[in-house]
């Protein structure tokens, strides 16, 4: 299967994981070849030759307290430790996954019963349960293996159950049910393949631990019994000669370390290779402001994109964006999301930017105050002049004062854009105090005034609420209050009503419109919805594939779109009262170039 090959390629591209894999393969080969190698008998004692140092004749790694050959014991011990550790991991993975799958998929009482059992196992501090089991079964390698399996089952059961329970209510499982598939078939062919990555990740990240634990039990004398040696018992026995002959413990210690480290490296690599979020490159921490890397040849007005309205910086414009280019860095170089966009906003004016998903409208909006996540975002060209100053050239300090000060944002989904763990009042108060040295009590009072201004009921007690306690409309009112906190000149609203019901949307639009007029705010309103833009904006810019294809008076563009894309788009919008037209109109519109 190509999937496996692609997976291996991704894994090996990670240099650390590749190194770990090579080391691990070498160790496993060495252990597997133990019977073929010309090694001394690992259990043959020779009291005369006890504690020989490394590089002695006939004993490369020296001998232990009973004069046994350490090299031979090391290789045979590694073989035993690997065999026990790996079997324990596979057993724990199998049993834990079965429990987790059944609990997660069945849900209800089965789930509650199984997970209560798992919780009880997890109520024991890890190694202690293993000790208790060995205490009951008696010391011995096999009993140590059972103990390690038992204490590791909960990890698999919990992870797999979480994944399976998440899938149980996914729509494709419902769809499979409606396609006539039975419960067991759904579990095996729909749920299991999607849970498999979780099992593999859990296995690859815990196998190192399990090797350590079996070694640890042997170290305590509860695992392998003399004369049979695994790495743990070699360490335990060598302790007695720690001071005179440190190599007796160092040799198995280093081996355990190398095995566990290589397994951890491979495990991390496997996790990164499987985790879909990491497939498109490493997730990087977004920095405080979008990186600006403008080409030196950015001569203003040199290249006005054809078909777009020229962004002549109208005199007196509050904001003038010209030839803005924002790109996202990908594995094969930067990909432009915004390709030379120019527009301006006059004081007190509302400019709508409309476009479908992927048109670059949000990236344009975020580029203004350099809030595009960076990396991967980078502004590659153009200027953003606000009151004459180029925001793209501004150092961090002044940019910070501008954000939330003169330029404020309202984002789409207020549930994710408000801090989930802070009271909403505190979040607004914080915005006030970030810009003005106001005492806390005074800022709190102003917050309540703002909440009243955005028509939140009972503003004082509302300020004490957490975001999840409010409705979607109330949360968006909080966001708007936060944007108003420092009397900005410009509000940039990025799809502020998309997540809301239509009646709530109407209320929020009315509020924004009223606030804008009473406070003489300029506004940039991003939306995919013509109706919304028409209701609130004076002018509109239509974006398509990173470019503005048309700008003009909102009513005029809607009535007489000039650009074919705009025409096609408007024809596709169902209008209440004559929505049936789109079933015919779209046919005609698609014939346009």
Give the integer Cα–Cα distance in Å for 45 and 52.
13
125 binds other proteins per the rule CB under 8 A: yes
Residues 561-580 that bind other proteins (CB under 8 A): 568-577, 579-580
Q: Find, among 50, 371, 99, the residue nearest to 237 by Cα.
A: 50
Assess 10 for contact with other proteins (CB under 8 A). no
Interacting residue with other proteins among 421, 441, 520, 593 (CB under 8 A)? 421
Give whichever of 303 and 440 is closer to other proteins, judged by the CB atom.
440
Give 68-86 as a 3 state SS string.
Answer: CEHHHHHHHHHHHHHHHHH
Q: Which is nearer to other proteins, 83 or 534 (CB)?
A: 534
Query: Toward other proteins, which CB reaches closer, 380 or 475?
Result: 475
User: What does DSSP assign to residue 346?
Assistant: -
Site for other proteins in 324-353 (CB under 8 A): none
Q: What string of DSSP letters covers 175-203? A: HHHHTT--HHHHIIIIIHHHHHHHHHHHH
Q: Measured from the CB of residue 574, what is the shortest distance to other proteins in angstroms?
A: 4
49-57, 60-68, 526-534, 545-553 -> range binding other proteins (CB under 8 A): 526-534
d(CA 142, CA 165): 34
Contacts with other proteins, 206-245, as mask; x by CB under 8 A: --x---x--xx--xxxx------------x---x--xx--
Specify the DSSP element, H or E, that contains 342.
Answer: strand 333-345
Question: Within 28-67, which residues bind other proteins (CB under 8 A)?
Answer: none
Give the burial class of 365: count Cβ atoms within 10 A of its Cβ; 0-12 exposed, 13-18 middle, 19 or more buried.
buried
Strands (E), 358-489: 377-386, 389-390, 407-410
Q: Which positions from 373 through 392 interact with other proteins, judged by CB under 8 A? A: 373
Q: Which of 401, 455, 519, 563 binds other proteins (CB under 8 A)?
A: 401
Smallest gap from residue 305 Cβ to other proteins (A): 22
Mark out the alpha helices in 239-283 (DSSP H runs).
Answer: 247-274
What count of Cα atoms within 13 Å lies in the side-chain half-sphere of residue 115? Answer: 19
CB nearer other proteins, residue 126 or residue 347: 126
Tokens of 249: 């413990």
Which CB atom, from 255 or from 448, has the smaller least distance to other proteins? 255
CA distance 148 to 217: 9
Mask for 170-209, x = binds other proteins (CB under 8 A): xxx-xxxxxxxx--------x--xx-------------x-
380, 435, 446, 477: which one binds other proteins (CB under 8 A): 435
Tell me if 592 sits within 8 A of 567, measured CB to CB: yes
Scan residues 60-79 and list those touching other proteins (CB under 8 A). none
Residues facing residue 540 across a β-bridge: 352, 552
> 167 vs 448, which CB is nearer to other proteins?
167
Whole-number minimum distance, CB 340 to other proteins, in Å? 23
**Nearer to other proteins (CB atom), residue 37 or residue 335:** 335
Interface mask toward other proteins for 137-166; x: CB under 8 A: --x---------------------------
What does the longest C-alpha to C-alpha distance in the chain come to? 104
- By CB under 8 A, the count of residues binding other proteins is 130
Instruction: Name which position in 360, 377, 404, 425 contacts other proteins (CB under 8 A).
Output: 404
Query: Which 73-112 residues touch other proteins, going by CB under 8 A?
Result: none
Task: List C-alpha distances in Å: 294 to 67, 249, 274, 483.
Answer: 72, 60, 36, 30
Strand partners, 329: 334
Strand pairing category for 490-494 and 407-410: parallel
- Footprint of other proteins on 248-267 (CB under 8 A): 249, 252-253, 256-257, 260-261, 264-265
Binding mask 458-487 for other proteins (x = CB under 8 A): --------x-x----------x--x--xx-
Contact track, other proteins, 505-524, x by CB under 8 A: xx--x---------------
Q: Give 235 or 521: the residue with its C-beta nearer to other proteins.
A: 235
Give the Cα separation of 420 and 429 in Å (integer): 16
3-state secondary structure of 345: strand
Nearer to other proteins, 323 or 477 (CB): 477
CA atoms within 13 A on the CB side of 34: 19
Least distance from C-beta 307 to other proteins, angstroms?
19
**DSSP letter assigned to residue 499:** T
Q: Is the Cβ of residue 194 or residue 228 nearer to other proteins in the bound state? A: 194
Strands 522-527 and 539-544: unpaired
Cis peptide preceding 103, ω within 30 of 0: no
Report the residue from 388, 583, 591, 593 that binds other proteins according to the rule CB under 8 A.
583
Q: Is 430 in the site for other proteins (CB under 8 A)?
A: yes
């Amino acid at each position: 299967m190509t999937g496996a090959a692609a997976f291996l390629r991704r894994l090996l591209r990670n240099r650390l994981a590749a190194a770990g894999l090579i080391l691990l393969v070498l160790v496993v080969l060495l252990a597997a070849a133990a019977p073929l190698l010309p090694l001394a008998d690992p259990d043959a004692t020779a009291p005369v030759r006890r504690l020989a140092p490394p590089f002695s004749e006939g004993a490369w790694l020296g001998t232990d307290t009973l004069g046994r050959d350490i090299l031979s014991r090391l290789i045979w011990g590694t073989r035993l430790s690997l065999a026990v550790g790996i079997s324990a991991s596979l057993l724990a993975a199998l049993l834990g996954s079965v429990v987790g799958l059944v609990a997660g998929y069945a849900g209800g009482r089965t789930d509650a019963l199984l997970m209560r059992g798992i919780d009880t196992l997890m109520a024991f501090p890890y190694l202690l349960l293993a000790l208790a089991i060995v205490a009951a079964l008696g010391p011995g390698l096999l009993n140590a293996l059972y103990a390690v399996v038992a204490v590791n089952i909960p990890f698999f059961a919990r992870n797999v159950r979480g994944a399976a329970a998440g899938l149980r209510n996914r729509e494709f499982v419902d769809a499979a049910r409606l396609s006539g598939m039975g419960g067991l078939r759904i579990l095996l062919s729909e749920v299991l393949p999607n849970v498999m990555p979780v099992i593999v990740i859990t296995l690859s990240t815990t196998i190192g631990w399990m090797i350590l634990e079996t070694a640890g039990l042997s170290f305590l004398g509860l695992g392998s019994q003399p004369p049979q040696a695994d790495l743990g018992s070699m360490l335990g026995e060598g302790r007695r000669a720690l001071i005179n002959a440190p190599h007796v413990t160092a040799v198995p210690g280093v081996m355990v370390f190398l095995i566990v480290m290589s397994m951890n490296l491979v495990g991390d690599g496997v996790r990164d290779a499987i985790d879909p979020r990491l497939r498109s490159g490493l997730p990087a921490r977004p920095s405080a402001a979008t990186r600006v890397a403008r080409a030196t040849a950015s001569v203003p007005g040199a290249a006005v994109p054809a078909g777009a309205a020229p962004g002549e910086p109208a005199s007196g414009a509050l904001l003038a964006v010209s030839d803005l280019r924002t790109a996202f860095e990908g594995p094969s170089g930067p990909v432009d999301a915004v390709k030379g966009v120019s527009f301006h906003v006059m004081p007190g004016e509302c400019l709508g930017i409309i476009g479908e998903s992927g048109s670059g409208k949000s990236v344009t909006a975020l580029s203004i105050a350099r809030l595009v996540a960076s990396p991967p975002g980078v502004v590659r060209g153009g200027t953003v002049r606000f009151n004459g100053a180029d925001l793209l050239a501004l150092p961090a300090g002044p940019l910070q004062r501008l954000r939330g000060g003169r330029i404020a944002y309202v984002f789409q989904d207020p549930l994710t854009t408000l801090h989930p763990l802070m009271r909403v009042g505190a979040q607004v108060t914080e915005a006030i105090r970030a810009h003005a040295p106001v005492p806390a009590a005074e800022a709190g009072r102003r917050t309540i005034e703002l909440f009243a201004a955005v028509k939140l009921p009972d503003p004082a007690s509302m300020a004490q609420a957490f975001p999840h306690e409010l409705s979607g409309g109330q949360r968006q009112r909080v966001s708007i209050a936060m944007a108003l906190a420092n009397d900005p000149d410009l509000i940039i609203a990025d799809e502020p009503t998309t997540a809301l019901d239509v009646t709530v949307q109407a209320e929020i639009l009315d509020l924004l419109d009223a606030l804008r007029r009473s406070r003489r705010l300029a506004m940039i309103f991003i939306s995919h919805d013509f109706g919304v833009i028409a209701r609130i904006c004076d002018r509109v810019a239509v974006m398509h594939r990173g470019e503005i294809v048309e700008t003009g008076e909102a009513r005029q563009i809607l009535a007489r779109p000039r650009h074919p894309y705009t025409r096609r788009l408007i024809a596709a919008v169902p209008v209440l009262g004559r929505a049936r037209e789109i079933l015919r109109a779209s046919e005609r519109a698609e014939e346009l170039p």
